[in-house]
Amino acid sequence: MRLSRYFLPVLKEDPKEAQIVSHRLMLRAGMIKQQSAGIYSWLPLGLKVLRRIEQIVHEEQARAGHIPVLMPTIQSADLWRESGRYDDYGQEMLRIKDRHDRDMLFGPTNEEVITDIFRAHVNSYKDLPLTLYQIQWKFRDEVRPRFGVMRGREFLMKDGYNFDLTREAALHAYNRHLVSYLRTYERMGLQAIPMRADGGPIGGDYTHEFLVLAETGESEVFYDSAITELKFGDRAIDYDSVEQCQSILEEFTSRYARTDETHDEATFAQIPEDRRRSARGIEVGQIFYFGTKYSESMGATVVGPDGARVPVEMGSHGIGVSRLLGAIIEASHDDKGIIWPEGVTPFHVGIVNLKQGDASTDSACQAIYDDLRAAGLDPLYDDRDERAGAKFAGMDLIGLPWRITVGPRGLANNKVELTSRRSGESEEMSPSEAVARIKAIYDPVIAAGYPV
Ligand code: P5A
């Protein structure tokens, strides 16, 4: 993309309404625009990151064997009356009437709709196991929408639902989700710690939240610092293997790590004092096992091997897709702006032309741009007629992890500069070396993908 033709409405001043750094930087970098409390438009740069996050989620769902669907945002109240949640859900649910005076609602979650799909189409245990998921907008009329996309009213969620014949099989689905979420967050450059949590309105007696540690987090958490040493890394996983998923679950959940809802002082006190931590965290996902809670009330049954009908065993699993942008920025920024991890960056590399209009500088920039694109990469070329300082500040603000700076002085010796946004360090090299270096940096990032 050439910046002169892009739509990147950056703000010069800090917006007054933003209380935390990620909200401030998303507004300043022209990623989002607030339309009402907790409701945002996604501008091109924000949308690009959102799409990269969605892509990682889709890939890791495919790797775990889960199947994408898309359900409506507007749901019928009758389904929620069947499950018994229509009255319980309270004021967080946005209730709507259609022209025929029928009660509708903007879905805050989709357990009811997916159970309705299941009961209409699945009849036999032979069709199990089955996990369906979607990435779709949700609405929760939060009392206090705040911190930008972090606590929105309209927000994007990945929500998945597993259907299994037995409790053991449903618990394997739970473990499989926990494992696949670990990989999902790591690909986004995040450490998200699974912590024992509370079921809340979704219900269930078995649930973990995934938390990214950050001072601005809304959740209070308690953990054994040894847990932060664990890395999922590049493990080859057979998601069908009950033993493998179980052993990874145990590895990542055996240390003490709990939200305040489940915190227990006596157990916590048994951890050596130098490893005891209380901190704040951002909840970027949650997984639930709730058994037959919805299938029983809504009549979602299958014929088992013995010919008898049984209610199907279920769980649900959520990732806060739009919230993740805020969480990633909270975890990765400095006083100049955002620092995107390579896995989610909106553009792979910025090209800064120090002398726009100079024939040889322009053509060197264009050649680098073309070569990067030919290598399958997505560069942002700052081809505006602006001062170098303004171009650097803009690139630092929007946080591309790499920058290639091209000016007449360097070019006289066939040199450009490659700069890391994270370390601030620069190196001189030929334009073709710079392209090769960028390609080498992104090769493993691209290789971590999975066909969807
Ligand atoms: C799991 C999927 C559920 O709703 N039903 C379907 C289950 N879980 S949850 O924990 O309530 O939500 C899943 C994730 O969505 C994010 N989230 C939000 N993001 C932005 N603004 C909000 N108001 C908001 N509410 C929830 C969180 O990341 C949460 O973990």
With a 6 A CB cut-off, is 283 part of the ligand 1 pocket?
Answer: yes
With a 6 A CB cut-off, is 159 part of the ligand 1 pocket?
Answer: yes
Q: What is the pLDDT of residues 271-295, one digit of tens each?
A: 999 999 999 999 999 999 999 999 9
With a 6 A CB cut-off, is 202 part of the ligand 1 pocket?
Answer: yes
Contact by Cβ (8 Å): 339, 25: no
Is residue 400 predicted with pLDDT exceeding 90? yes
CATH of domain 3-338: 3.30.930.10
Q: How far apart are the first and last CA of the chain?
A: 26
Testing ligand 1's pocket by substitution, the residue of 115, 157, 284, 321 carrying the most ligand atoms inside 8 A of its CB is 157
Rounded to 10 deg, the angle between the 167-187 and 44-63 helix axes is 140
For residue 205, name the pLDDT band (cuts at 50, 70, 90).
Answer: confident
Which pLDDT score is estimated for 201? 79
Domain ranges for the chain, please list them.
Answer: 3-338, 349-447
With a 6 A CB cut-off, is 142 part of the ligand 1 pocket?
Answer: yes
Distance CA 98, CA 238 (A): 47
Q: What is the pLDDT of residues 21-64, one digit of tens each?
A: 999 999 999 999 999 999 999 999 999 999 999 999 999 999 99
Closest atom of ligand 1 to 201 CA is 11
Closest atom of ligand 1 to 157 CA is 15
CA nearest ligand 1 atom 20, residue? 151
CA nearest ligand 1 atom 12, residue? 318
Is residue 377 predicted with pLDDT exceeding 90? yes
Instruction: Report how far ligand 1's centroid is from the alpha carbon of 169 (Å).
Output: 24
DSSP symbols for 240-296: T-HHHHHHHHHHHHSS-EEETTT--HHHHTTS-GGGEEEEEEEEEEEEEEEETHHHH
Is residue 198 predicted with pLDDT exceeding 90? no
Strand-pair partners of 315: 162, 289
Least Cα distance to 114 among 161, 61, 164 occurs for 161
Q: In terms of residues, how long is the chain?
A: 452
Q: What is the pLDDT of residues 130-164, one digit of tens each?
A: 999 999 999 999 999 999 999 999 999 999 999 99
Is residue 2 predicted with pLDDT exceeding 90? yes
CA nearest ligand 1 atom 14, residue? 320
Is residue 245 predicted with pLDDT exceeding 90? yes
With a 6 A CB cut-off, is 186 part of the ligand 1 pocket?
Answer: no
The amino acid that residue 32 corresponds to is: I
Other CB atoms within 10 Å distance of the CB of residue 413: 8
Contact by Cβ (8 Å): 176, 314: no
Instruction: Report how far ligand 1's centroid is from the alpha carbon of 279 (Å).
Output: 21
Mean pLDDT over 240-255 rounds to 97
Testing ligand 1's pocket by substitution, the residue of 53, 158, 323 carrying the most ligand atoms inside 8 A of its CB is 323
CA nearest ligand 1 atom 27, residue? 320
Using alpha carbons, list the distances in angstroms from residue 88 to 84, 152, 229, 289, 315: 7, 21, 40, 20, 19
Using alpha carbons, list the distances in angstroms from residue 211 to 48, 108, 315, 365: 24, 21, 20, 42
Q: How many Cα atoms occupy the beta-carbon half-sphere of 41 within 13 Å?
A: 6
Mean pLDDT over 345-358 rounds to 98
**Token pair in block for residue 244:** 């493998």
DSSP symbols for 336-353: TEE---TTT-SSSEEEEE
Q: What is the pLDDT of residues 84-93, one digit of tens each?
A: 999 999 999 9
Is residue 106 predicted with pLDDT exceeding 80? yes
Global confidence as pTM: 0.98
With a 6 A CB cut-off, is 382 part of the ligand 1 pocket?
Answer: no
Would you tell me which CATH number, out of the four given (3.40.50.620, 1.10.3720.10, 3.40.50.800, 3.20.20.140), belongs to the domain 349-447? 3.40.50.800
Instruction: Report how far ligand 1's centroid is from the alpha carbon of 124 (Å).
Output: 31
